[in-house]
Amino acid sequence: MIRGFAVLLSFQLAGEALSRALHLPVPGPVIGMALLLLALQLGAARGEGLRAVATGLLSHLSLLFVPAGVGVILHAHLLASQWLPLAVSLVASTAATLAVTGWLAQRRGPGEEREETAP
> Would you list the domain boundaries of the chain?
1-59, 65-109
Nearest Cα residue to 10 out of 26, 29, 24, 27: 29
- 32-84 residue pLDDT tens: 999 998 998 888 777 777 888 888 888 988 888 888 889 889 999 998 999 99
Percentage of the chain exceeding pLDDT 90: 49
pLDDT value at residue 2: 85
Backbone angles phi, psi at 26, to 5 degrees: -105, 135
CB atoms within 10 A of CB 5: 16
pLDDT at position 61 is 86
Q: How many residues does the chain have?
A: 119
Residue 115 has pLDDT above 60, yes or no: no
Selection from 64, 84, 67 nearest residue 75 by Cα: 67
Q: How many CB atoms lie within 10 A of CB 71?
A: 11
- Express as a percent the part of the chain with pLDDT over 70: 90
Per-residue pLDDT for 113 more than 80?
A: no
Instruction: Round to whole Å and give the CA distance between 70 and 50.
Output: 29
Q: Is the predicted pLDDT of residue 117 greater than 80, yes or no?
A: no
- What backbone phi and psi angles, to 5 degrees, belong to 104? -65, -40
Residue type, 95: A
Q: Can you give the pLDDT at residue 42?
A: 87
- Does the pLDDT of residue 98 top 90, yes or no? yes
Question: Cβ distance 49 to 4 under 8 Å?
Answer: yes
Q: Distances in Å between the alpha carbon of 100 and those of 9, 93, 110?
A: 31, 11, 16
